[in-house]
């Protein structure tokens, strides 16, 4: 048996989409990263299949986007229907302020291929495939991990400053840390079927929730001639029997004859709503399914995990590479947990709404009587999934009641004085930024300017650019905006808060080491 010893800044356990995404984000900060993955490489089976506009916006930051983007698709509509085909609600899928459609469908192996390819040549990342984490020990300033290789001949001992658990819903790391989970009381079995249609066979290009009292069904157009069907399983049904080809063909007969498609997979999934009570223990952090499970009715499972990655990556950079105290990392759970819990509740509400509408159809009850307006609002995401003013909002100005605080800065294009066009996201380049009309340095103290430079903060004077976007213009006309690397607005200066006031509070919330302010 051979053991090898290596040392890294960050170890990521699990190289699914969340592990891949966070490794891509951390790679831009020149951190030495190890990835432990028990499989031999990328998966070839379908998995998650919906990305929202914010996640697509972040994928746009990676070099290989065009390759992936060409393999995605956008449904024409998101629909709720009855089994007789009558439409309850139909919303066209449009672009948002993030510059991408609210819903994009994809094939998970395509995404994993692009994310892994984007870091394949990185000298900062080492991937240990066919290695399974079997133990770890956190000694405060260093975490020691022990892995077992598939052949049992190349076990490894790895040392790291930080450990990111991206090891799924049955997380070994969460289990060993003895972290309890909050069960939000939703647990249903669904049969998920992915098919590829034969040439010339076409189905509606929509994402459709079919409120069928006999069997609620999800109908989802996918790229590359693929299509997904999800069927709620009924009490007493044999799970193994329902996965068999004969059962699948019977369920699909309403839409397709057996000779019109090829089955890519049929799997039973438990749609659950759970949330870990603790997302950080020392320098160990839970991400994705290790931290929470979101029923997939609104397609927010993978999106929530990637949001975790986006939130933690820039904070780890500030602690590892800049003069920021580790207790700033407490903001990870503070900022993400409330959003995730609201997302889970909205997804559960959507599942219950489908059941309520199906029951109304069966009993011929008017929809207005079957579903309370507030229930429908929550299911459709009407309630903002942001912390309220009485909850510590994390690294944001005062509270999220301030007009622009917590919003994403719009994704726009600007033209410089030479007529060259650049996207705001490329201009920001994953850095903290101060954006406004005029030179912000002239309104800041020398100590603040030094600290901003130490943090590699980008200062952008919008007077040097031409742009046409009313939402962006409203922000800039109000004052200077401090933008976090995750594109969220920390705050905007106004008559009550100068840019110096904002900067002072920003440094305080970042837990910037005092000697850096002297």
Task: Please name every residue paired with 174 in a beta bridge, in sequence order, or none if there are none.
Answer: none
Reading the block at residue 18, the tokens are 């969340």
Beta strand pairing call for 125-128 and 33-36: parallel
Q: How far apart are CA 405 and CA 505, in angstroms?
A: 13
Give, for 197, the enclosing helix (H) or strand (E).
Answer: strand 181-197
- C-alpha distances (whole Å) from 225 to each of 70, 103, 194, 212 are 13, 18, 11, 25
Write the CA distances from 83 to 91, 214, 364, 447, integer angstroms.
Answer: 18, 9, 13, 66
pLDDT value at residue 389: 43
**For residue 328, what is the DSSP state?**
G
Q: Please report whether residue 495 resides in a domain.
A: yes
State the residue range of the domain holding 498: 413-516
427 located within any domain:
yes
pLDDT at 46: 77
Within its chain, how far is the Cα of 103 from the centroid?
13
d(CA 291, CA 394): 18
Q: Is the dihedral of CA 61, 67, 68, 71 positive or negative?
A: positive
Query: Which residues, 6 or more positions from 463, have their beta carbon under 8 angstroms from its beta carbon?
Result: 437, 438
- pLDDT by residue (tens digit) across 320-343? 999 899 999 999 999 999 889 888
Tokens of 285: 């952090």
Domain CATH code at residue 464: 3.40.30
3-state SS of 386-427 is CCCCCCCCCCCCCCCCCCCCCCECCCCEEECCCCCEEEHHHH
**pLDDT the model gives residue 374:** 56
Q: Decide if 191 is inside a domain.
A: no
**Would you say residue 419 lies in a domain?**
yes
Looking at residue 477, the DSSP 8-state letter turns out to be: H
Task: Specify the pLDDT at position 399.
Answer: 58
Residue with tokens 């819990």: 341
Between β-strands 481-483 and 433-436, what pairing exists: parallel, antiparallel or unpaired? antiparallel
Domain membership of residue 448 (yes or no) is: yes
Distance between CA atoms of 487 and 501, rounded to whole angstroms? 20
Query: Residue 388 has what pLDDT?
Result: 43
Task: For residue range 469-495, list pLDDT tens digits in order.
Answer: 999 999 999 999 999 999 999 999 998
Q: Which residues of the chain, if any, have pLDDT below 70?
A: 1-5, 42-43, 369-392, 399-401, 513-518
pTM above 0.85, yes or no: yes
User: Within 13 Å and on the Cβ side, how many CA atoms surround 381?
Assistant: 8
- Contact present, 337 and 298 (Cβ < 8 Å): no
Residue 407 lies in a domain: no
Beta bridge partners of 482: 434, 491
Which pair of structure tokens corresponds to residue 193? 């079927």
At 108-139, the pLDDT tens digits run 999 999 999 999 889 999 999 999 999 999 98
For residues 462 and 459, give the distance between their C-alpha atoms in angstroms, rounded to a whole number.
10
Return d(Cα 169, Cα 448) in angstroms, integer. Answer: 43
- Return d(Cα 356, Cα 200) in angstroms, integer: 37
Number of domains composing the chain: 1
Please check whether residue 441 lies inside any domain of the structure.
yes
Of 417, 395, 304, the closest CA to residue 54 belongs to: 304
Q: Is there a domain that residue 60 lies in? A: no
Q: What is the distance between the alpha carbons of residues 518 and 508, in angstroms, rounded to a whole number?
A: 14
Helices 499-509, 446-454: crossing angle, 10 deg rounding: 50
């Amino acid at each position: 048996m051979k053991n090898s010893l290596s040392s890294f800044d960050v170890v990521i356990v699990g190289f699914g989409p969340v592990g891949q995404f966070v490794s891509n984000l951390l790679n831009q900060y020149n951190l030495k990263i190890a990835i432990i993955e028990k499989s031999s490489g990328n998966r070839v089976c379908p998995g998650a299949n919906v990305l929202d506009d914010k996640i697509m916006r972040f994928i746009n930051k990676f070099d290989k986007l065009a390759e992936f983007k060409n393999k995605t698709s956008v449904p024409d509509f998101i629909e709720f229907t009855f089994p007789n085909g009558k439409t309850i609600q139909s919303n066209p899928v449009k672009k948002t302020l993030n510059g991408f459609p609210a819903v994009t469908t994809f094939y998970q192996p395509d995404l994993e291929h692009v994310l892994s390819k984007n870091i394949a040549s990185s000298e900062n990342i080492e991937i240990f495939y066919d290695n399974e984490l079997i133990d770890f020990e956190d000694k405060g300033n260093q975490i020691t991990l022990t892995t077992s290789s598939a052949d049992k001949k190349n076990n490894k001992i790895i040392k790291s400053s930080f450990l990111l658990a991206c090891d799924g819903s049955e997380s070994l790391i969460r289990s060993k840390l003895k972290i309890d989970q909050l069960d939000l009381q939703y647990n249903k079995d669904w049969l998920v079927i992915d098919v590829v249609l034969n040439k010339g066979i076409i189905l509606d290009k929509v994402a459709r929730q079919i409120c069928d009292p006999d069997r609620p069904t999800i109908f989802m157009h996918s790229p590359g001639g693929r299509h997904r069907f999800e069927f709620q399983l009924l009490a007493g049904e044999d799970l193994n029997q329902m996965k068999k080809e004969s059962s699948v063909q019977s369920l699909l007969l309403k839409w397709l004859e057996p000779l019109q498609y090829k089955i890519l997979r049929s799997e039973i999934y438990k749609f659950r709503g759970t949330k870990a009570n603790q997302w950080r223990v020392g320098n160990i952090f839970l991400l994705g399914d290790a931290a929470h499970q979101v029923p997939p009715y609104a397609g927010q499972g993978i999106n929530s995990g990637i949001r975790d990655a986006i939130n933690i990556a820039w904070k780890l950079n500030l602690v590892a590479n800049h003069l920021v105290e580790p207790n700033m990392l407490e903001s990870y759970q503070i900022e993400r947990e409330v959003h995730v819990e609201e997302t889970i509740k909205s997804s559960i509400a959507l599942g219950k709404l489908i059941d309520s509408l199906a029951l109304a159809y069966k009993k011929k009850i008017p929809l207005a009587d079957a579903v309370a307006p507030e229930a429908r609002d929550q299911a459709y995401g009407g309630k903002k999934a942001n912390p309220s003013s009485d909850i510590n909002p994390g690294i944001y100005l005062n509270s999220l009641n301030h007009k622009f605080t917590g919003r994403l800065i719009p994704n726009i294009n600007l033209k410089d004085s030479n007529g060259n066009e650049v996207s705001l996201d490329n201009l920001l380049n994953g850095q903290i930024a101060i954006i406004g009309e005029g030179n912000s340095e002239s309104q800041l103290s020398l100590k603040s300017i030094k600290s901003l430079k130490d943090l590699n903060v980008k200062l952008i004077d919008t007077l040097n650019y031409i742009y046409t976007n009313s939402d962006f213009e409203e922000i800039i006309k109000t004052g200077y905006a401090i933008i976090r690397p995750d594109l969220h607005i920390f705050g905007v200066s106004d008559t009550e808060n100068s840019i110096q006031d904002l900067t002072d509070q920003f440094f305080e919330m970042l837990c910037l080491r005092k000697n850096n302010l002297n």
